[in-house]
Amino acid sequence: MTMNKVTIKKVAQWIGFGTVLMTALAISWWSMFTMAMDEFGMPGILAGAVSVAFDGAALYVALLASEYAKSDDSGFMARLATLGFVTVSAWLNFMHADMMGLGIEGKVFFSAPTIIAGILFEMFLKFTNKTELRKRGRVAKAMPVFGKISWFRYPAKTFKSFSKVVLFRLDNVTAAETAGQKDTVSVPEAVTEGQGQQDTKRTVTAAQKDTQAVRKDTKKVVTKKVTRTPSAKELEDTFPELSEDMSIARLVQTMYRNGETDREAIRKKVSNIKKTEVPINTVTKSINRMK
């Protein structure tokens, strides 16, 4: 029942937005078509083609801007182009009403649908972009509310508690972003001195391994295990409880319970299953919720 209400609400919203958009496109097409024929003497076919080309281009860049809003890319040029088409369309409608000898009411009446459609579309882009950022864990959660009485009665203590929350979140983000950055490998090293031979084993970072000088009297054997991230099909065969339909948090927690403790490895496997790049802080948050 709840799902049906949500679906009906979304359909109603799209119908309302579609009505405004179609009205704006229809007025824009009619204004350009009429102006091209009456004011510039264009043939009917050519006037109609120009109007369709203008409205088609406006609709295309609007759809392109909506796709950009769902990605990590800026999409600034697409949004700027959409704003340009909305502005030109509103101005042409305004001038058409002026050429017809209509007063200010007629000019507003002709221009309003285009402007309203532009505002609604901009709000839709902002909402879509915010939703996608929230899914990727790029939107910070709201700070806790201490209340006016707490700030008034215990300002210093409230500020201290507020600062602790900020510091806790900062430490979590820092730990999540730096997790997996230090990739260490084990390098067995055989050192020969005089007549005796002593085997030593030390751990160096990948950067140190690449830049370390090779001494003539030292024999080094570097072994690095290359791990391949299994495909989504292999993961589902190995762990039947894993599925692409599961949420990111559930996938992370399931792998963690199955004994996988390397968060970077979990991130790669979940990214492979979901076919999208999953941030390491999302993995950290999902594991922290289990504790």
Confidence (pLDDT) at 280 = 85
Rounded to whole angstroms, the Cα distance separating 235 from 269 reads 8
- Quick: pLDDT tens for 53-74: 888 888 888 888 878 877 777 7
Predicted TM-score (pTM) of the model is: 0.46
Calculate the average pLDDT of the chain.
74
Please compute the mean of the pLDDT values over residues 3-22 and round it to a whole number. Answer: 78
Residues 197 and 284 in one domain: no
Residues 195 and 238 in one domain: no
Rounded alpha-carbon distances, angstroms, from residue 110 to 8, 87, 154, 287: 31, 13, 58, 56
- Quick: pLDDT tens for 83-97: 888 888 888 888 888
- Quick: pLDDT tens for 276-288: 888 888 888 888 8
Q: 238: phi > 0 → left, psi -120 to 50 → alpha, else beta; which?
A: alpha
Asked if residue 226 belongs to a domain, the reply is: no
User: Which structural domain range is residue 52 located in?
Assistant: 2-135
Residues 30 and 155 in one domain: no
Residues 129 and 215 in one domain: no
Please give the tally of structural domains in the chain.
Answer: 4
Confidence (pLDDT) at 238 = 59
Asked if residue 175 belongs to a domain, the reply is: no
Asked if residue 177 belongs to a domain, the reply is: no
Q: Assess whether pLDDT exceeds 60 at residue 213.
A: no
Residues 52 and 155 in one domain: no
- Quick: pLDDT tens for 19-63: 877 888 888 888 888 888 888 888 888 888 888 888 888 888 888
Residues 200 and 271 in one domain: no
Asked if residue 174 belongs to a domain, the reply is: no
Asked if residue 54 belongs to a domain, the reply is: yes
Residues 72 and 152 in one domain: no
Asked if residue 82 belongs to a domain, the reply is: yes
Residues 9 and 95 in one domain: yes
Confidence of residue 180 (pLDDT cuts 50, 70, 90): low
Residues 29 and 94 in one domain: yes
Residues 128 and 14 in one domain: yes
Asked if residue 265 belongs to a domain, the reply is: yes
Asked if residue 176 belongs to a domain, the reply is: no
Please compute the mean of the pLDDT values over residues 235-257 and round it to a whole number. Answer: 73
Residues 115 and 206 in one domain: no
Residues 126 and 109 in one domain: yes
